[in-house]
């Protein structure tokens, strides 16, 4: 008799859970689908920057590129083919890894490929160049971002990023509700630092750290963004540079190269964004901050060898989500079918997940 009633009980529990989680994004998902695709693009209005009503002296070449230099800094800008100087476009900034540069970052991310859109319009993709630091042995001259043991001393890349975004806003027609930051390795660590810093956590709508080098300077213990922050994180289980399990020192026993266990890093973001680490999922039906779910409440397998844990613990209007993609067999690479950054995956992180995620998260969303 008990056995007979079990299916009914299961049905009852399932519907009780559904009622406790009243948002569309909490509904049962197809396991084959990428769960990031189940929330619709944000309907936040565009917020036109000054560049929509001003002229600019920036010159773009026949491939729609410009290298903008400002003092001792530079960044590579790519305009979409259909760029309209009177229509606000989303801005995606992508920070290169240690030893790399903006041009290389453009190549591995594919962010300047034809046809990419956010909010239905072509994206402006920007690839800044880091300053030259001392390298890992302290005696070289190698590009790097703030937050690593090998960062150039005294360089304020947060201030540089703010100034760069201001210049872009003044010269191009951008949508300031749709500024996004992404980066690989050292650039992924810096992307995390931008998310941890109130001034930039409120400048960019969402963040994509990939194979992030989360040294202490890039992942401060007092990370206080000032708002729940949407983050999409990718990390390979075969990463030997920044191991998924974390490390207390590098191969040369240098403790300044310590990096966190990536699962714990993600859980820390989920908690910071409002997830409870202790209460079971079903008990978290409501609170003053809206519904919450546990940080590993939704697990899916959107691609071969890939596990996605979605932790959506936000109040109903801020859409703060932590999406953690863990890729079996992937090393220290930006996931790409073409192996543009070394490792080959059966999906392109940029188009399959990062841009759709960005599209769901904009500033200025109304309830």
Ligand X SMILES: *[C@@H]1O[C@H](CO)[C@@H](O)[C@H](O)[C@H]1NC(C)=O
Piece of the chain touching ligand X by CB under 6 A; list 35-43, 62-70, 150-158, 220-228: 62-70
**Residue 263 contacts ligand X per CB under 6 A:** yes
Give the alpha-carbon dihedral of 113, 119, 121, 123, to 10 degrees: -40
Ordered alpha helix ranges (H), the chain: 2-20, 102-109, 157-171, 186-196, 198-201, 262-272, 349, 355-360
**Residue 137 contacts ligand X per CB under 6 A:** yes
Piece of the chain touching ligand X by CB under 6 A; list 17-25, 30-38, 136-144, 224-232: 136-144
Piece of the chain touching ligand X by CB under 6 A; list 21-29, 63-71, 227-235, 323-331: 63-71
If phi over 0 gives left and psi between -120 and 50 gives alpha, with beta otherwise, what is residue 324? beta
Q: Please name the residue that has the structure tokens 């040369």.
A: 252
- The gap from C-alpha 103 to its chain's centroid, in whole angstroms, comes to 20
Nearest alpha-carbon partner for 14 in 308, 307, 281, 316: 281
Q: In angstroms, how far is the first alpha carbon of the chain from the final one?
A: 48
Q: Which residues pair with 125 in a beta bridge?
A: 78, 92
**Residue 103 contacts ligand X per CB under 6 A:** yes
- Site residues for ligand X, 68-97, by CB under 6 A, read 76
Element (H, E) at 314: none
Q: How far is the CB of 366 from ligand X (least distance, A)?
A: 9
- Round to whole Å and give the CA distance between 257 and 150: 10
Piece of the chain touching ligand X by CB under 6 A; list 23-31, 120-128, 260-268, 299-307: 260-268
Neighbour tally for 38: CB within 10 Å: 19
**Residue 65 contacts ligand X per CB under 6 A:** yes
Annotate 198-254 with DSSP letters as a single string: HHHHTT-SEEEEES----TTTS-TT---SS---EEEEEETT-SSS-TT-BSS-TT--
Pick the binder of ligand X from 7, 61, 120, 240 (CB under 6 A).
61
- Site residues for ligand X, 31-50, by CB under 6 A, read 47
**Residue 247 contacts ligand X per CB under 6 A:** no
**Residue 245 contacts ligand X per CB under 6 A:** yes
Pick the binder of ligand X from 220, 256, 337, 342 (CB under 6 A).
337
Q: How far is the CB of 233 from ligand X (least distance, A)?
A: 14
> Binding residues for ligand X, how many (CB under 6 A)?
26
179, 167 in Cβ contact below 8 A?
no
Piece of the chain touching ligand X by CB under 6 A; list 116-124, 132-140, 212-220, 306-314: 132-140
Which CB sits closer to ligand X, 103 or 301?
103
Which CB sits closer to ligand X, 86 or 139?
139
- Round to whole Å and give the CA distance between 346 and 335: 8
Pick the binder of ligand X from 20, 56, 66, 68 (CB under 6 A).
66
The residue at minimum Cβ distance from ligand X is 364
Piece of the chain touching ligand X by CB under 6 A; list 25-33, 87-95, 152-160, 336-344: 336-344
- Site residues for ligand X, 108-127, by CB under 6 A, read 110, 113
List residues near ligand X by CB under 6 A.
47, 61, 65-67, 76, 103, 110, 113, 137, 139-140, 176-177, 245, 252-253, 261, 263-264, 336-338, 348, 351, 364
């Amino acid at each position: 008799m008990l056995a007979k009633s079990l299916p009914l009980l299961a049905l009852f529990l399932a519907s009780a859970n559904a009622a406790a989680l009243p948002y569309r994004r909490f509904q049962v998902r197809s396991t084959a689908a990428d769960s990031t695709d189940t929330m619709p693009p944000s309907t936040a209005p565009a917020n036109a920057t000054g560049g929509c009503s001003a002229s600019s002296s920036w010159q773009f070449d026949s491939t729609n590129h410009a290298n903008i230099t400002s003092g001792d800094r530079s960044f590579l800008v790519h305009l979409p083919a259909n760029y309209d100087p009177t229509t606000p476009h989303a801005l995606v900034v992508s920070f290169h890894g240690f030893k790399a540069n903006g041009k290389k970052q453009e190549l591995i991310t594919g962010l300047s490929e034809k046809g990419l859109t956010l909010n239905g319009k072509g994206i402006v993709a920007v690839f800044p160049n880091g300053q030259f630091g001392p390298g890992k042995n302290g005696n070289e001259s190698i590009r790097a971002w703030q937050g690593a043991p090998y960062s150039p001393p005294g360089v304020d890349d947060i201030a540089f990023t703010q100034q760069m975004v201001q210049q872009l806003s003044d010269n191009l027609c951008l949508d300031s509700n749709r500024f996004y930051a992404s980066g690989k390795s050292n650039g992924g660590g810096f992307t995390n630092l931008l998310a941890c810093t109130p001034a930039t956590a409120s400048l960019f709508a969402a963040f994509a750290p990939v194979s992030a080098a989360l040294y202490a300077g890039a992942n401060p213990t007092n990370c206080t963004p000032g708002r729940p922050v949407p983050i999409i994180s990718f990390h390979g289980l075969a990463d030997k540079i920044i191991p998924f399990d974390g490390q207390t020192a590098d191969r040369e026993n240098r403790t300044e190269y310590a990096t966190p266990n990536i699962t714990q890093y993600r859980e820390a973001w989920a908690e910071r964004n409002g997830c409870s680490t202790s209460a079971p999922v079903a008990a978290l039906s409501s609170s003053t901050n809206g519904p919450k779910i546990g940080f590993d409440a939704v697990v899916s397998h959107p691609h071969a060898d890939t596990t996605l844990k979605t932790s959506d613990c936000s109040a109903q209007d801020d859409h703060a989500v932590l999406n953690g993609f863990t890729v079996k067999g992937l090393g220290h690479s930006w996931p790409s079918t073409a192996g543009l950054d070394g490792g080959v995956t059966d999906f392109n992180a940029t188009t399959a997940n990062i841009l759709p995620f960005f599209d769901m998260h904009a500033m200025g969303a109304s309830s």
